[in-house]
Amino acid sequence: MFKWVNFIMITAVLATACRESQSSDAYSDTRDGDSDADGDSDADGDTDADGDSDTDGDTDTDGDSDSDGDTDTDGDADADSDADSDSDTDADSDSDTDADSDSASGDDTETDTETSLTVESFDVTNPLILERADPWMYRHTDGYYYFIATEPAYNRIYLRRAQTAQGLADAAEKEIWARHPSGIMGAHIWAPELHYIDNAWYIYFAAGATNDVWAIRIYVLENTSDNPLLGTWTEKGQVKTNWESFSLDATTFEHNGIRYLVFAQDDPNQPNYSTNIFIARMSNPWTLDGPQVSISKADFDWERVTYAVNEGPAIIKRNSRIFISYSASATDANYAVGLLWADENGDLMDAASWKKSDVPVMKSGNGVYGPGHSMFSISPLGTIDLLVYHGRDYKDIVGEPLNNPDRHMRVQKLNWSDDGMPVLGPPVANGTITISNQ
């Protein structure tokens, strides 16, 4: 009896720990984009003639990766336990309410009767998805991972889903939106992110215009369907920031009842910087509420290789702190990931609340070059934090990086130091790895 009581108590603690996971709404990665003078914010070229990554440009008949096109039984896709249904990775959110969702996925879970600890273990082969930069892999409460990224033609937004991270590699893609034939949102469709907020799906992405492909701005799509592969995506328009200048890589999260947008933008008052990281409050998922505040700019030498760039922010809330990863420098082998953090009780709109690592927390290594546009996801049972990012398999790029399609999506375990800091790097080498909470 004593062992069973212990088991129940520890399992309850683990269940609480699981809920400390995901805010895919709080996880992102930077378009391997470069906000510099060459306008390279995405080093991808093209895949095939129709811009689709499959051979026939088609996905499936209902855009759903299961047999019935359904998601969950209650129609509730809320990915987190806070009041605004936000799918961010804050400590009170649970990215997977169905604790047995991995039983259909082939993930290995068992209970260690000696320690009463739920063991979670699964394999991932890197690179996981080829020619998909600025990856976003969000695990929802319906038991599916949803994947979205920059496609090499910069023309369309594709979405796919699977019950395991590895399953995303072969999951069918569905085109859910295409660039405008003229005007705004007509060029350079970059770094889409999928978020679930207040019972609706939102995609944040960057786009230029047909008459000025470098007039990059942030735009938002909305879908009220339970399944984002179904329903209708409605354009909510441009997120109006403080200036009409180069802006991209928007991500969003909720904290203490306030929704924030974090993004990269060219500050016209700082001509020596390409893009800074800004934060602003929001009145709704597509509208800022008040001024934006710069919380990071490319001051260190490692952030200024070729271009002075800070971009691709992604949020994870853990250990009484809010962490933001971001990417810096040109999108070649010098591209690297930095880290910001603030106390969860601090004023997030005060730049002084944010601390910054003076060295990159992930850079080229183990045969992976230019790792960046990182974001954070969660394991099926919520016991393991995952790091998602893109990288190249070789160092030297021939020609214009913007036309290079070889940034591939990668996944590895996000570790934590004894003092509660995230340990991102180094990137793992190509091949199959086992991700485990042991």
Instruction: Enumerate helices (H) and strands (E) in the chain, giving the number of each.
Output: 1, 25
Element (H, E) at 11: helix 2-18
Beta carbons within 10 angstroms of residue 69's beta carbon:
14
Residue 79, CA distances (Å) to 26, 95, 133, 250, 376 in order: 11, 5, 24, 19, 14
User: Both tokens of residue 268?
Assistant: 């016209």
Evaluate whether 262 touches 253 at the Cβ level (below 8 Å).
yes
Active site residue 400: no
Checking phi first, is residue 115 left (phi over 0); if not, alpha (psi -120 to 50) or beta?
Answer: alpha
Give the residue from 262, 257, 258, 316 showing the smallest Cα distance to 21.
316
| Set 36, 40, 42, 134: catalytic member | 134
Q: In Å, what is the CA distance from 389 to each residue of 261, 303, 351, 425?
A: 20, 18, 26, 11
Under a CB-based contact definition with an 8 Å cutoff, are residues 205 and 192 in contact?
yes
* Active site annotation includes 20: no
Name beta bridge partners: 284. 287
Strands 145-150 and 133-139: antiparallel
Active-site entry in 96, 249, 311, 385: 311
CA-angle at 158, arms to 185 and 384, nearest 5°: 120
Helix (H, G, I), strand (E, B) or coil at 141: coil
**Residues identified as active-site:** 134, 311
